[in-house]
Structure 1
Amino acid sequence: MTPDKIAAVRGELEAFAAEVFEPFARKDQRRWGQVYLRGLLTDGQRKSVEPMAARLGEDGNRQALANFITTSPWDPAHIRAQLAWRMEEAIGPEALVFDDTRFLKDGSASACVSRQYTGAADKVTNCQVGVSLHLASDHASAAVNWRLFLPPSWDPASPKADADKVARRTACGIPDDVGHVEKWQLALDMLDETRSWGLEVPLAVADAGYGDAAAFRHGLQERGLNYVVGISATLSAQSADAALVAEPYSGRGRPPVAKYPDQPWSVKELVIAAGRKAARPVQWRGGAPPRG
């Protein structure tokens, strides 16, 4: 890359950082936010402060970068909102995509690390898991909201609490009022926050990790969103012609709740019963292969 091209790219990055980090209260925060962003884009797999500082040359002030990340207070919601507005304009989103991503960890000192299932690897691994909301269209997507998932073992109020993990909460900077929340609820919380920024996208997409939760599907419906979500073949459901039946009401006490007279079927059983003629071909665009 020529020096002129490098200068042009750096100018675009600085303009982007100036816009997204505009809510920062202090000038030094805006400066080191831009430097940190550049550090994330430098070559090298390790994205912690020390190796990034070594790659940043004259801007590689390790102490200043560490202070920006660990002890310089700023509201991340304002930054996420700025990013979301910019990505909405650039992408023209047609759908909101909910997903989660694992961050492999060899040790156990980082916040919320635990042996837990992650869909990206389709297995249980020692990792952190981040839940994310993406704006997406046919040509592009970008994560604009995210949450770090706190497993039950890190929640002192959970029956599954692990004493060693709970003891590390303070050192990891986890506030006392933050406890375990299911991933589908984190997804709905992010949806509500994103809509509070004025972003309205009528379609939601998620895999079975979210689609299997009836409360998640009901939450999308209550918010007026159409949705396409994966579900497991073992999930139970009623056939399309099933009807609710209520017992006769005598006029005394609480009216009986209408119920389905028959037991539900698994989704797999319903698909088999519907037969091949009811099937419709669906074509998916190829994506990136799973990592790890």
Structure 2
Amino acid sequence: MRDYVRGLLGPVGRKNGWQLAEYVGHDVPAGLQHLLNRARWDPDEVRDDPQEYVAERLGEPDGVLIIDETGFLKKGTTSAGVQWQYSGTAGRTENCQVAVFAAYASTRGRTLVDRQLYLPKSWTSDRERCRAAGVPDGRAFATKTALARHLVTRALASLLPIAWVTADALYGQDWHFRRMLEEAESATSSPCRNRSRSSPCPGAGASTSSSPTHLRTPGSGSPAATAPRARASTTRRPRCCRPSRSSRVTGPRTAGGCWPAAASPARTRSPTTWHTQSRGPL
């Protein structure tokens, strides 16, 4: 296993059995092929071991869990989950695999701690293709945000000391993702596109005294803002704050960026608002 991982991380052009074996000093690739094809080992237990190591060596009370996705460009069509889809790595649509990753960061260092392969519907609807690629029969379709929720849930249940969770707008705009964090008492404020009328964007409009620290997630150009786990507030500007194009209102706005009620144009329906919600210490 150590040689296999060393080969994957090394400067090997094509990471097939022969190339990896030559790089790590093996005469033939039989050992590496046995590891992948015939040896019995649990990938989840292999994941848990490094998490314990990371918690011991890098863990800090204010540790940050970072959620992001990345793509792996492929040539063929047999690798699990491969299809023509958008790849953030390439910045365009490519034939690739996509996976959602969880990374742990603290002042002592940073590293990956979990992963989940994304399987498009073209795969989950074709059981024979899944079996040929070694995908378990019980694996159903799940969106990337659903995979992210699984990663966060597992991380919060692990030994990793996590005080912050951060992700980019793809996950921040998902109401279920934000709701799950609120229920787990791990508040977050990812960038939101403010498309959902029924869900607040955590952290938006927070006071200056508790303004979040802005981070940049790996593999993404979108800044992600995080809010402290101990105290967080959520609010969202009412949709009615912006008047229609035909009835612009001039003059000063309130501190929240809205026009005074007296100056606002008449509305045929009541505004949808989300009140500030404060959470006390855990």
What is the TM-score of this pair, normalised by structure 2? 0.66
**Structure 2: distance between partners of 1:130 and 1:200:** 24
For structure 1, the residue ranges without an aligned partner over 5 or more in a row are: 1-32, 157-162, 242-262, 280-292
Counterpart check, 1:47 vs 2:15: yes
Which one has a larger percent strand, Structure 1 or Structure 2? 2
Match of 2:42 among 75, 81, 85: 75
Question: Structure 1 103/266 Cα, relative in aligned 2: closer, same or farther at 3 Å?
Answer: farther
**Structure 1: distance between partners of 2:89 and 2:193:** 16
Checking the alignment, whether the CA contact within 8 Å between 1:100 and 1:118 is kept in structure 2 is no
Higher mean C-alpha displacement, 92-101 vs 194-203? 194-203
Q: Map 1:248-287 to 2 at 5 A.
A: 264=239
Which one has a larger percent helix, Structure 1 or Structure 2? 1
Which of structure 1's runs of 4+ aligned residues deviate more than 6 A?
237-241
Aligned to 1:109: 78
| CA shift for structure 1 position 264 | 3.7
Checking the alignment, whether the CA contact within 8 Å between 1:220 and 1:227 is kept in structure 2 is yes
Checking the alignment, whether the CA contact within 8 Å between 2:166 and 2:189 is kept in structure 1 is yes
Question: Structure 1 88/45 Cα, relative in aligned 2: closer, same or farther at 3 Å?
Answer: farther
Checking the alignment, whether the CA contact within 8 Å between 2:55 and 2:161 is kept in structure 1 is no
RCO greater where, 1 or 2, for CA within 8 Å and sep 6 or more? 2
1:169 is paired with a residue whose SS is helix
**Structure 2: distance between partners of 1:40 and 1:192:** 28
Q: Which whole-Å deviations, capped at 9, do the CAs of 1:144-165 have from their partners, x for residues lacking one?
A: 1101111111112xxxxxx5xx
Aligned to 1:207: 168
Match of 2:105 among 108, 129, 136: 136
Match of 1:216 among 168, 173, 177: 177
Checking the alignment, whether the CA contact within 8 Å between 1:52 and 1:60 is kept in structure 2 is no
**Structure 2: distance between partners of 1:108 and 1:64:** 26
Q: Which whole-Å deviations, capped at 9, do the CAs of 1:160-190 have from their partners, x for residues lacking one?
A: xxx5xx5421221011111111111111212
Checking the alignment, whether the CA contact within 8 Å between 1:204 and 1:226 is kept in structure 2 is yes
Match of 2:33 among 66, 85, 98: 66
Q: Which whole-Å deviations, capped at 9, do the CAs of 1:116-171 have from their partners, x for residues lacking one?
A: 22344443222100111110125632111101111111112xxxxxx5xx542122
For structure 2, the residue ranges without an aligned partner over 5 or more in a row are: 206-237, 245-249, 258-282
Q: CA RMSD, aligned part only?
A: 3.3
What is the TM-score of this pair, normalised by structure 1? 0.64
**Structure 2: distance between partners of 1:231 and 1:38:** 39
2:188 is paired with a residue whose SS is strand
| CA shift for structure 1 position 233 | 6.1
Aligned to 1:190: 151
